[in-house]
């Protein structure tokens, strides 16, 4: 329990101190975005990680939350007395309401069927957004102004830093609430339903009811994230409830690690960084995005949190030194494979755009076949070397992971 | 009457195309328990391969070559990707195919650009076949119907009348027993996955020029195919067939009819109709038309 208190304290302190260290406007908007995605991803993990429900339509709750919030914001601008600080609750309430309505339909089935149904329901709501442009804003979206309300204690939410602290406060609150939920009987039963619905039923719980409750509650938090997004960007477009957003939150959550509570937060930060920083370096970022996701599914199913957890265990068992040769053996082939893979992708993109490629001072001609052959060859050789190195290193890895009791 | 007949024919064409996609999806699902999220991406690859081959070699060779090429890619995906993901469960497999769909879309962006490619109906099939009252029925639509019906007949005959089909059905219902009898079940899975993606690719070759060949086509058709499979009942080919035709016809009728209910024209409701049907089906009969499994 003491360790838990320390973790929460460090989390709060980090959220508080971040803007004091990174002051630039870019960093500030990055933090806001990451915080919003973190709430969204945590709410998504209530389904995927804790209840075992894979949803392809989670953006519905996020997008509708954002829409209702921006409408509330415009009502506040028209003279209604609604405090901006509590405005995300409008999003949360609408997320909860739609979670109840749509959750009733979608949770009638579990497993793969739930995934397909959630996709269908998501597409349905997204298609509705084109049918009712008045409410959904159509192509252009709906814009608002978060600093219209009366200032409260001098807070107008005009400057981005005030917005950051609003996001941070809601992030802290909702993280605590979602963590507390995992400790309640409902949270425990959700895990039971995920692992073995039949046995959960024997204990006397209705799996469908548990799934329904979790969908409704995760709709609440997704709506909260959407409400914050509406305040942060001051515009809501149809994209926020599209399949793209649903896919993004799935990527973020899985990349962070679905077996750990904090995983989605890490994933949200990673995805936000990829979206903003990587996108400023290369136009190929969606491609890397997909590849990173595929690699995570195939090789690191535990995600970032799983890797962190594993190394924590190795550290505690003082086994890092014994695991080191594995890394030493794998490092060179993996780095070369990665680098030549990047060169290949960049060459492909430049060849299709017809632009010359400059990588760290090198001038590569994406048109000449010699460059292509060299790149493909080095990639193939590095991949084979990875395989060989892994074959040689595997016994030691198995031995080390057996020592810490990690099945691998 | 005239409109109804024309819409019916168009709807059946569209429905048969949907069934070419949903049959492969259903086969793969009932055999391996994998919901192939990237199924529509293979349809898109089929359309692009068909475009490339028909401009270089010709349209009729493309009907054979493009599905073969895409089927080979599908088999490779199963062998080197899915089989690995299978070790960590069905969710991992589904997520793998989800990631694959993103990567395929990006590859299409890189190779063929973000705008539609000029994939056209071949000159020999361009033009009206017959005139119905005053509207004409294009030859190409009849060709599409012919190809899909022929393919479905071949699929049915292959599954029920040949030895390969026997092994596939054995591996489908009793994988352990089939393996004990000396059949390489993983290889059968690879073949079924390759075959299912080849079917999707064939649908792409004949659908790509009837509609538009563009990078968004997979994302546009994929959810509809899923709806078809859910409405028909997971794992049931017959159910998928009925649902494909029904949704194809209903959607075509909704687009062509000119009714409006309280200022909302029916053609604007058309995109939502398949999903509404799905929701209604889920409330009335959660296992779908012909589904046997409750969950």
Which tens digits make up the pLDDT trace of A358-402? Answer: 655 566 666 677 777 888 888 888 888 888 888 888 788 888 877
Residue A407 has pLDDT above 50, yes or no: no
Residue A408 belongs to a domain = no
A219 and A345 share one domain = no
Structure tokens at A399: 């031995």
Whether A304 is covered by a domain: the verdict is: no
For the CA atoms of A239, A244, A248, A254, the dihedral, rounded to the nearest 10 degrees, stands at: 150
Indicate whether B294 pLDDT > 60: no
Q: Is A154 left (phi over 0), alpha (psi -120 to 50) or beta?
A: left
C-alpha–C-alpha distance, residues B76 and A315, integer Å: 39
Q: State how far Cα B90 lies from the chain centre.
A: 21
Look at residue B290 and give its three-state secondary structure.
coil
Report the gap between the CA of B60 and the closest CA in chain A (Å).
28
Same domain, yes or no, for A196 and A67?
yes
> Residue A132 is encoded by which pair of tokens?
């009712």
User: φ and ψ at B174, to 5 degrees?
Assistant: -130, 75
CB contact under 8 A, B230 and A111: no
Q: First vs last Cα of chain A: how many Å apart?
A: 29
Question: In 3D, which of B170, B182, B232 has the Cα closest to residue B31?
Answer: B170
- Rounded Cα–Cα distance for residues A365 and A115 (Å): 44
Verify that A178 and A40 share a domain, yes or no. Answer: yes
Q: Is A345 found in the same domain as A399? A: yes
Tell me the per-residue pLDDT of B129-156, one tens digit each, with 9 for 90 and over. Answer: 777 677 777 888 888 888 888 988 888 8
ipTM of the assembly?
A: 0.83
Question: What's the total number of domains in chain A?
Answer: 2
E strand or H helix that includes residue A362: strand A362-364
Contacts of A54 in chain B (CB under 8 A): 91, 94-95
CA B208 to chain A, closest CA, distance in angstroms equals 22
Please choose, from the candidates A15, A41, A17, the residue with its C-alpha nearest in 3D space to the C-alpha of residue A262.
Answer: A41
Q: Which of A184, A253, A244, A242 is nearest to A214 (CA)?
A: A184
Whichever domain contains A242, its CATH number is 1.10.3470
Say if B48 is an interface residue toward chain A (CB within 8 Å).
no
The rounded Cα B10 to chain-centroid distance in angstroms is: 17
Strand, helix or coil for residue B1: coil
Whether A388 maps to a domain, the answer reads yes
For the ranges A151-160, A396-405, B34-43, B282-291, the one whose mean pLDDT is highest: B34-43
CA dist B70 and B75 (Å) reads: 9
- Distance CA(A93)–CA(A219), nearest Å, equals 9
Alpha-carbon gap, residue B132 to A18, rounded angstroms: 71
Three-state DSSP state, B96: helix
Q: How wide is the angle at C-alpha B81 spanned by C-alphas B226 and A328, nearest 5°?
A: 145
A303 part of a folded domain: no
Contacts of B63 (CB under 8 A, 6+ apart): B50, B147, B202, B205, B206
Tell whether B280 is within 8 A of chain A (Cβ).
Answer: no
What is the β-pairing status of strands A235-236 and A357-359?
A: unpaired
Q: Distance (Å) from the C-alpha of residue B187 to the closest C-alpha of chain A?
A: 20
Which are the contacts of B188, defined by CB distance < 8 A and separation ≥ 6? B167, B168, B171, B178
Distance from CA of B150 to the nearest CA of A (A): 29
Q: Are residues A29 and A156 in the same domain?
A: yes
* pLDDT of A86 over the 50 cut: yes
**Residue A234 and residue A376 in one domain:** no
State whether A270 and A360 are in the same domain.
Answer: no
**What mean pLDDT is predicted for residues A53-78?**
89
- B73-104: burial string, b at 16+ Cβ within 10 Å, e else: bbbebbbebbbebbeeebbbbbbbbbbbbbbb
Name residues whose C-beta falls within 8 Å of residue B118's C-beta, 6 or more positions apart in sequence. none
Average pLDDT value for chain A: 84
Q: How far is CA A331 from the centre of its chain?
A: 28
Disruptive mutation site among B219, B282, B293 for chain A (greatest number of A CBs within 10 Å): B282
**Residue-number span of the structural domain to which A343 is assigned:** 317-403
Tokens 């997979």 belong to residue = B218
Are the C-beta atoms of residues B21 and B207 closer than 8 Å to each other? no
More confident residue, B3 or B121: B121
A228 in a structural domain: yes
Domain final residue, candidates A264, A295, A326: A295
Model pLDDT, residue B289? 79
Residues A290 and A335 in one domain: no
Residues A145 and A276 in one domain: yes
Inside any domain, residue A79 = yes
For A151-205, how does the pLDDT look when each residue is reduced to its tens digit (9 = 90+)? 666 677 777 888 888 899 999 999 999 999 999 999 999 999 888 888 988 988 8
The answer on A133 and A25 residing in a single domain is: yes
Of the candidates A362, A271, A326, A351, the one whose C-alpha atom is nearest the C-alpha of residue A40 is A271
Question: What are the pLDDT digits (tens) for A120-136?
Answer: 888 888 888 877 777 77
Q: Per the CB < 8 Å rule, is A290 touching B282?
A: no
Judged by DSSP in three states, B135 sits in strand
Same domain as A210, residue A132: yes
Residue A226 confidence (pLDDT) = 94
User: Among A56-60, A105-109, B104-108, which stretch is predicted with the lowest mean pLDDT?
Assistant: A105-109
d(CA B11, CA A30): 48
Number of residues assigned to chain B: 295
Fold of B2-116+139-284: ABC transporter involved in vitamin B12 uptake, BtuC (1.10.3470)
Residues in chain A: 408
């Amino acid at each position: 329990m003491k360790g838990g208190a320390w973790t929460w304290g460090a989390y709060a302190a980090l959220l508080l101190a971040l803007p004091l260290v990174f002051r630039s406007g870019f960093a500030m908007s990055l933090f806001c975005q990451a915080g919003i995605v973190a709430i969204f991803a945590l709410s998504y993990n209530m389904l995927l990680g804790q209840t075992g429900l894979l949803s392809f339509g989670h953006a519905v709750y996020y997008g509708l939350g954002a829409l209702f919030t921006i409408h509330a914001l415009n009502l506040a601008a028209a003279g209604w007395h609604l405090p901006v600080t509590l405005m995300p609750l409008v999003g949360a309430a609408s997320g909860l309401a739609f979670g109840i309505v749509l959750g009733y339909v979608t949770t009638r089935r579990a497993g793969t069927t739930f995934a397909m149904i959630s996709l269908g329901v998501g597409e349905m709501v997204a298609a509705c957004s084109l049918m009712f442009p008045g409410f959904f804003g159509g192509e252009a979206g709906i814009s608002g102004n978060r600093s219209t309300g009366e200032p409260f204690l001098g807070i107008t939410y005009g400057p981005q830093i005030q917005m950051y602290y609003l996001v941070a406060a809601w992030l802290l609150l909702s993280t605590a609430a979602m963590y507390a939920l995992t400790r309640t009987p409902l949270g425990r039963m959700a895990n039971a339903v995920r692992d073995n619905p039949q046995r959960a039923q024997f204990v006397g719980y209705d799996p469908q009811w548990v799934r329904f409750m979790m969908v409704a509650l995760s709709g609440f938090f997704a709506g909260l994230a959407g409400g914050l997004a509406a305040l942060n960007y001051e515009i809501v477009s149809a994209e926020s409830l599209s399949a793209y957003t649903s896919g993004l939150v799935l990527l973020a959550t899985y990349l962070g690690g679905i077996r750990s509570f904090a995983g989605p937060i890490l994933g949200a930060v990673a995805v936000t960084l990829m979206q903003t920083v990587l996108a400023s370096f290369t136009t190929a970022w969606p491609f890397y995005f997909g590849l990173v996701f595929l690699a995570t599914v195939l090789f690191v199913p535990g995600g970032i949190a799983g890797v962190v957890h594993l190394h924590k265990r190795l550290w505690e068992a003082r086994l890092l030194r014994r695991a080191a040769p594995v890394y030493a053996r794998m490092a060179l082939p993996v780095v070369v494979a990665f680098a030549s893979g990047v060169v290949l992708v960049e060459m492909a993109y430049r060849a299709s755009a017809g632009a010359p490629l400059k990588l760290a001072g090198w001038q590569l001609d994406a048109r000449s076949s010699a460059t292509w052959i060299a790149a493909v060859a080095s990639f193939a050789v590095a991949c084979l070397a990875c395989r060989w190195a892994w074959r040689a290193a595997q016994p030691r890895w198995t031995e080390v992971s057996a020592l810490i009791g990690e099945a691998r | 009457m005239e409109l109804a007949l024309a819409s019916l024919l168009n709807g059946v064409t569209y429905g048969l195309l949907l069934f070419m996609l949903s049959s492969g999806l259903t086969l793969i699902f009932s055999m391996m328990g994998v919901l192939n999220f990237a199924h529509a991406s293979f349809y898109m690859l089929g359309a692009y391969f068909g475009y490339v081959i028909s401009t270089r070699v010709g349209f009729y060779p493309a009907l054979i070559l493009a599905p073969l090429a895409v089927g080979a890619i599908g088999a490779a995906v199963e062998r080197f990707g899915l089989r690995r993901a299978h070790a960590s469960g069905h969710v991992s497999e589904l997520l793998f195919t989800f990631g694959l769909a993103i990567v395929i879309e990006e590859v299409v962006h890189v190779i063929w650009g973000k705008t539609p490619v000029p994939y056209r109906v071949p000159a020999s099939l361009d033009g009206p076949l017959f005139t119905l009252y005053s509207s004409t029925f294009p030859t190409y639509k009849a060709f599409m119907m012919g190809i899909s019906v022929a393919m479905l007949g071949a699929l049915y005959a292959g599954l029920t009348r040949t030895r390969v089909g026997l092994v596939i059905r054995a591996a489908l219902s009793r994988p352990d027993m089939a393996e004990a009898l000396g059949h390489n079940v993983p290889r059968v899975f690879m073949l079924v996955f390759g075959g299912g993606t080849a079917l999707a690719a064939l649908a792409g070759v004949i659908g790509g020029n009837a509609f538009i060949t563009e990078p968004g086509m997979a994302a546009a058709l994929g959810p509809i195919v899923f709806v078809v499979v859910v409405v028909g009942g997971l794992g049931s080919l017959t159910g998928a067939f009925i649902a494909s035709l029904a949704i194809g016809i209903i959607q075509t009728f909704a687009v062509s009819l000119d009714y409006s209910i309280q200022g909302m024209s029916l053609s604007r409701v058309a995109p939502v109709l398949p999903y509404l049907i799905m929701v209604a089906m889920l409330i009335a009969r959660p296992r779908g038309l012909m589904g046997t499994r409750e969950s």
